[in-house]
Amino acid sequence: MAKTAKKTKKVKKINLLIVESPAKAKTIQKYLGNGFGVTASIGHLFDLPRSRLAIDVDKNFEPEYITIRGKAKILKEILKEAKKAEQILLASDNDREGEAIAFHLRNAILRKFPDMKIMRIVFNEITPVAIREAVKSPMSIDINKVNAQKARRILDRLVGYKLSPILWKKVKNGLSAGRVQSVALKLICDRDREVEAFMPQEYWTIDVTLKQGKKTLTSQLVQFQGQKPDIKTKEEVQKLIKLFKGKTFKVADIKQKDKQLKPLAPFTTSKLQQASATRLGYTSRKTMRIAQTLYEGVNIGSERIGLITYMRTDSTRIADTALDAVRKFIGDTYPDELPEQPNIYTPMKKAQDAHEAIRPTYVERTPESVKSYLTGEQFKLYSLIWERFVSSQMKPYKSRILSIEFTCGDGLFRSSTTKVLEKGFYKALKLLAPKEKFHTLPSLEIGDDLECVDLTGDQHFTQGPSYFTDASIIKALEERGIGRPSTYAPIISVLIDRYYVVRKTKRLKATVLGRIISEMLEKTFPEIIDVNFTANVEKRLDEVESKNEPWEIMIGEFYKPFSEKVDYVMEHLESIKGVLEEPTDHICEKCNRPMIKKLGRYGFFIACSGFPECMNSKAVPLADCPKPGCTGSIIAKRKQNKKGKVFYGCTNYPECDFVTYFPPTNTKCPHCGYFLVERSDKKRGDYKMCVNPECDYMHLQEAEVSSGS
C-alpha cells in the first residue's frame, strides 16, 4: 500500500507590533486580539560600545552601533517572532529616542528578512480607540528625528570620551564628565556657594492686639514716621513699644480689593516633576517611574487600561476630544464652574509641542473611582494629574482682600483678611489645594477708636538662597533651555550615581569631588559648561529634527575647536592628584606611620601612608570641639543601627560627650565665635545657627518681647 504524503500545515501570518516595555505590550495585546502579536524591545537594542569612542571623526562622524550587551537574546526572540509576521508595526515611544529604537529595529529585521513590510505607528495614550486608530494609520520612520537623536548621542559621546581622560590624568582615576550633567553640576555648585556665603541679618516686627467691645484683632506695624520700619535689635523694639503702650488706636482707612486667580495649565513633564517633589516628596526618577506604570496600563477590574497620556512632553496642548470630554464632566459635576469658552494655554517658546499635555485618558475615571486598583503612590500621582487637568478648564478662583489701617502717633498698623467670593477651580483640588488660613475682622468704620491690649516684638532673620531640590533644579534647567522632558530625571540621577551630588533631606548638594570637577571644567572648558552654549545645542538639535540643518555640519562645527582645546588642556593643565593627598599631623595609631588626607568617592578622609599594608583610616575633622577644655575635633559618625543615621561627635568620646545632628560649617558665629551648623525648617528655609546653646544667634525665641518685659 502506497504511503500518503504528509500535508504541511500552513502557518497563518500575524501582524507583529513591537513596543518598548513588556507592561505596554501586555496592555496593547488585550486591545488587538487575534491576528496580532505584541512583543517588547525593552528600550534600546543598539548603541555605541562602552569600551571605545566608536565614532569615525574623519568620515563625517559616522557612529558604530553594536547590539547592547545582554540584549542579544531579546533581539533573537524578536527576529523569531518576525519570521511569523506578515507585517511589522514599530510602536516605540513618539520621541527622538523612540524613533531611534524603531530605526535600528527596522534595519536589524530587514537584514534578516529583506522583503518584510515594516511601518511605524505612534500614539499618545494607551486606550483601545487610540491603539486601533494608530494601527489604521501607519507611517514611515521620521529620519529627521533619528538624526537629531544621533547628533545628541554623538555629541555626548565626544564630550564624555574626550573630557573623562583629562579627569583621570589630572584629578583621579575612574571619573567621568558629561555635557549636560556638567552644566547642572555647575548650577548646583554655584548655589551651594551662595547658601554658604549668606549670613542672616536679624530684624524684628511689632504686633499689637486691639480690642473694641468684646472683639479683638491683631495688627502689625507697617510704617513709622512715614517709612517702612527697619528694626534691628531687641532694644529698638522696646523703645517703640513704649511710644505706643497705653495709647488709643484709630481706624484711619478701610480698603478692599477683589482678586482673581486663574487655573494653571495641564502638566508638562517638568511641571509634574516639580509638583510631585513639592506636594508628595517624590524624586524626579520616582515620579517618572510611577507615571510610566500609569501610562503603560493598570488592571481596572477585568479591564486593563492606560490611565494617563504620554508622560514626556513640554506642551500644554490637549486634544479636542479630551477638551470636549472634560467640559462635559465639569458641566455635570461642577456646573457653576464651567466657563462659557474653553481655557486656552499658550505653550512655552522653547516647547517642541510633539505631544499633548499629561492628562487622564478618561476624565470620568476619578481618582476615588480607581483608588482600590492602584498602589498608594500611583493613586497620589494620578490624583495630581487628574486634579490639574480638570481644574485647568474651570472658572477662576475669586476672593476679596479686606485691609484695615490704624494710626497711633507716628505709627501705622495694618490688619488684612481674605474672603472667598467664588471657589472656581479650587472645587476640583484636594492634593493640589493651597493651605489657606482665613480669620475674620470685626466690623469697623473709619474714625473708630480701639484699645491697645498688648504689644509684642517678634524676632526674625533674613532668608538667603536655598539649596536646590529636585523641583527647583528642574525648574532652573527648564528656564535656561537645558535638557528636554526625557532628560530632566536622568540628569539628576547621573550626578547622584557618580557621587558628584548627594541628596540630603530632599536637598541637592555638591560633594567635594563634584566641586573639584566643576571648578576644573569651568576653568578649562568654560564654553562647554556655559548655560547659553548648552541651550543653543538644544536649539540646533531641534533644527536637525526640523530638517533645517544637517547633523554632520552641527557636530563638525563643534568638534574641531573642542578637540584642539582637549589636546592643549591635556598637555598644559597642572595635575592636582598630588594636591588631593595632603600630609597631616596625625600619626597612625596602628603602625606609627604618618597619615595623609585623601579624596575618595565619598569625599575627603584620612588614611595611613602605609596603605595597603595598613588599612587604617578615619574621618576628616570638621571643626574644633566647642566644649570648654576639650581639645578634640568634631567628625561625622554613623549610628550602629539599621538606619545608620549620621551625627557629629567629638573624637575624645567617651571622655567628651558632645554631639549634634546638624552638619557643622566652616563659618564662625558672629556673636560668640563657636562654629555654626546647618539648619532647615519650613518657616525659615535653609539657615545657619550657632552650636553654642548659650548663644542666641539664630536660636528660636521662646519668650516674646512684650510690653510687660
Residues with catalytic function: 310
Give the integer Cα–Cα distance in Å for 573 and 523.
10
CB neighbour burial string for 354-369, b if at least 16 within 10 angstroms, e if fewer: bbbbbbbbbbebbbee
Closest CA to 46 of 87, 84, 74: 74
Dihedral sign computed on CA atoms, order 118, 120, 125, 129 = negative
State how far the alpha carbon of 613 is from the alpha carbons of 605, 618, 683, in Å: 18, 16, 52
Closest CA relative to residue 688, chosen from 647, 660, 659, 652: 660
- Non-local (6+) Cβ contacts of 158 within 8 A are 53, 55, 57, 555, 558, 559, 562
Residues 266/384, Cβ–Cβ less than 8 Å:
no
Count of other CB atoms within 10 angstroms of residue 499:
15
Region for residue 671 given its phi and psi (left: phi exceeds 0; alpha: psi -120 to 50; beta: otherwise): alpha
Q: Which long-range contacts (CB under 8 A, 24 or more apart) does 671-679 make?
A: 671/695, 671/696, 671/697, 672/697, 674/626, 675/623, 675/624, 675/626, 675/634
Vertex 93: Cα angle to 309 and 109 (nearest 5): 150
Instruction: Report the alpha-carbon distance of residue 590 to residue 608 in Å, rounded.
Output: 9
* C-alpha 557, offset from chain centre: 32
**CA 471/CA 485 separation, integer angstroms:** 13
Type of residue found at 263: P
22-32 and 284-296 helices, crossing angle to 10°: 20
Rounded to a whole number, what is the distance in angstroms from the first to the last CA of the chain? 122
Dist. CA 535–CA 515, nearest whole Å: 22
Could you write out the DSSP letters of every residue in 506-538?
A: TEEEE-HHHHHHHHHHHHH-TTTS-HHHHHHHH
Q: Is 607 helix (H, G, I), strand (E, B) or coil?
A: strand
Name residue 689's beta-bridge partners: 677
Give the integer Cα–Cα distance in Å for 510 and 526: 19
